[in-house]
Structure 1
């Protein structure tokens, strides 16, 4: 069994740690807690498989002077991984992302995880243990009371938190974003399967532990086979995370294509420069950017915000007001299409008007808006807002609002003369 487990564990550990490092590096460009927790879950999961590999298990035990220290480190790392996954499910709920709610959740659950870890460590170091027993620790030391108590504490904490995490996944709801919920739920099915295999591991380990109390070294094969459930759990979890990553990459590429129209509209290049100026989005590829599309997307968004800011001399209130008046009339009182967003439409009209005024070398408008209508959008919703703004640039309501704004401005200028 040990050679087979080693052949499985090492590639899984390398792959999972590699993915975790890639996601951790992406945190530098996209500082979101969901990304940080995803990276931590992958890194910790990779460490679990590395620590459970028999050769590594023995090597760390010999170095630490405690042959079975990995029998403590693996459950502690598992609980830490589940805790991070639990926190990730909280962030998937829009109404639970607020700092006050997250603090209350942490205050309620940190004693559960922390208490379990401290109790397990106390029981482990109080136990009288012998040689290393990788993959069969529960069966080999079933006669030691501290080991039995150790496992019951671990199981109680793991089962409780797994059930809570699965319930959080099942109740996922993001108002106004049903497509995102559907996409997440497909990944969550695999995530729930992964947590279910963790419970299978608990069941098999319990059989080995309690069965071995009837005699020494009985059911050690069952204890070793319990690790197969953990392997299945890791594969299911990786499928869940990989599907989310791939879906995220597809969404990022799609949003980038959509945002290019808005970017090219607001970022005006100096006509006196023959070659394209050196900008953030200059074509490039590297080992990291080839796998991480978020960096280029973030650069694109930053340039759009900068370009919109440079148009502030022509931020007229007229286009936004015209959108507000036209939208209900255009749809006979109903919302103007599935993708409609009032603030995004007002931003689109304001920016489109400003670009046309800039290109026509018109004087600065008076009065002008101190900021764009969508300037109060929360940071985590900024990308969605910009994408909606880009999509609405060609919407009939936006186009008509810009025309009406130009006409009103012309009338106002004539009256002023």
Structure 2
């Protein structure tokens, strides 16, 4: 079994730690808790496989003068890994990602993880152990009461955490997102395979404790379930990453029209072209699409702000009036996400303002300028979705007509 497990563990450890480091590097550009936890889960999983590799298991034990120390470090890291997955399942739910809810969740579950790890550490320190027994620690030392108690504490904590996390994943609302539902399925399978490991290890421990010496093979085979767990979890995480990257590329393409509208003919850009997002390609940005998307959004917001001297309330009022006009059949044309009044009003305001700026019209008198855009109060986590909605509404007939009506009204009112 060791001849099979050693190369498999080392390959999995190298891949997962490498992916975790790449995710950790991406955190510098995108301060997102889900991304941080994903990076942490990957690195913890890699360390678990590294420490469980018989060669490393013995080397770490020799270096720390405790031959079986990895038999403690592996379950402790597994609990931490499942705890991270537990938090991820909370972050995937819109109503549970607020700081207050996350703090309450952490306060409720931290005692379970911290208590189990503390008790396991104390039991290991007190246990009279002998030579290293990688992959078969539970069976070899089944006669030691502290080892039995250590595993019981670990299993209770692990089973509780896995069941709760799988239940949270099953309750996640994912309407119209079958790909995400499949990814959650793989994630649940990965967590569930940890329970298979528990079942096989418990069988080996209990039967060996009863006096049967041939159960070390069952204890070793339990690690195959952990390998399957890691593969399933990585499939889930990779699927989510790929879906996120596709969505980012699509949103970037959609936002370009809004970016070009508010930035394209800006006099400030003519004076300093370097302030515009320049097309660029690098090995890093090829895989980190969020960096360029964030830059695009920042420039778009800046361009919208520079249009503020021409913000007029007339386009928003025209959109509201035209949207409820009888006989309109075009409200859903070209809008995959559906009609959104606030986004349509903001699109009309920006379209009208950009046209006024490009035509060289004077800025509006201070008292007639709009103070803020309809989307100014959008929560930070919904900012990207709102900007995409605005961009999708730019060429809608109601928006175009509202901007034209506002122009005509202003022209008629001009002296």
**TM tier, shorter chain?**
over 0.9
Are residues 1:197 and 2:188 paired?
A: no
* 1:331-367 per-position Cα deviation (integer Å, ceiling 9, x unaligned): 7699746522222111111111110000011111231
**1:329 shift after superposition:** 2.4
* 2:341 paired residue number: 342
Mapping of 1:2-401 within 5 angstroms?
A: 2-173=2-173, 178-179=175-176, 181-215=177-211, 217-268=213-264, 277-279=273-275, 281-329=277-325, 336=332, 338-366=337-365, 367-401=368-402
Q: Check 1:194–1:33 CA distance in 2 against 1; reply closer, same or farther (3 A cut).
A: same
TM-score (norm 1): 0.94
362-371 or 381-390: which moved more?
362-371
* Cα contact 2:208–2:215 (8 A) shared by 1: yes
* 1:224-273 per-position Cα deviation (integer Å, ceiling 9, x unaligned): 00000000000000000001111111111111111111111111357899
* 1:29-82 per-position Cα deviation (integer Å, ceiling 9, x unaligned): 111111111111111111111111111111111111111111111111111011
* Cα contact 2:135–2:223 (8 A) shared by 1: yes
Secondary structure at the aligned position of 1:278 is classed as: helix
TM-score (norm 2): 0.94
**1:277 shift after superposition:** 2.7
CA distance in 2, matches of 1:388, 1:359: 23
CA distance in 2, matches of 1:113, 1:273: 54
CA distance in 2, matches of 1:294, 1:157: 36
* Cα contact 1:68–1:134 (8 A) shared by 2: yes
CA distance in 2, matches of 1:104, 1:95: 13
CA distance in 1, matches of 2:57, 2:396: 62
**1:287 shift after superposition:** 3.1
215-224 or 374-383: which moved more?
215-224
Q: Check 1:65–1:57 CA distance in 2 against 1; reply closer, same or farther (3 A cut).
A: same
* Cα contact 1:330–1:397 (8 A) shared by 2: no
* Cα contact 1:269–1:277 (8 A) shared by 2: no
Quote the RMSD (CA, aligned, Å): 2.0
